Amino acid sequence: MGNKFWIYLLVMALTTYLIRSVPFCLFRQKIRNKKLQNFFDYIPYAVLTSMTVPAIFTSEAGIVSGIAAFAVACILAYKNKSLLIVAVFSVLVSLVAGFLPL
């Protein structure tokens, strides 16, 4: 990555910072359009989903580990387990699945 890391870091940090600070400094009006509000409420869930699928299946841990981790994470998340519990068990399962002779 070399020197390009610093350019990436600068661009990334500046974008993220401006998104937060400019509205915090300038705007005082609430968004009243309910549909627009909904759109912004949905974005995080849609983003986290498209970041997870298919990335979880195509990671270097392999597809078997990916499927195992995905299944366990879904089951535990469905049971409202905490982030930490879900993460720990999906890691453990993907680790075990990595040793399976598949």
CB of 100 to other proteins, least distance (A): 13
Which of these, 75, 73, 93, 92, lies nearest to 83 by C-alpha position?
73
| Residue 100 near other proteins by CB under 8 A | no
Complex with other proteins: residue 41 or 101, whichever CB lies closer: 41
Residue 82 makes contact with other proteins by CB under 8 A = yes
Q: Which of left, alpha, beta for 12 (phi over 0: left; psi -120 to 50: alpha)? A: alpha
Contact 66, 91 (CB under 8 A): no
Residues 90 and 73: their CA atoms lie apart, in Å, by 6
Residues 39-78 that bind other proteins (CB under 8 A): 39-56, 59-62, 65-66, 69-70, 72-74, 76-78
Q: Are 93 and 80 in contact (CB under 8 A)?
A: no
Residue 80 lies near other proteins (rule: CB under 8 A):
yes
12 near other proteins, judged by CB under 8 A: yes
Q: Is 87 in the site for other proteins (CB under 8 A)?
A: yes
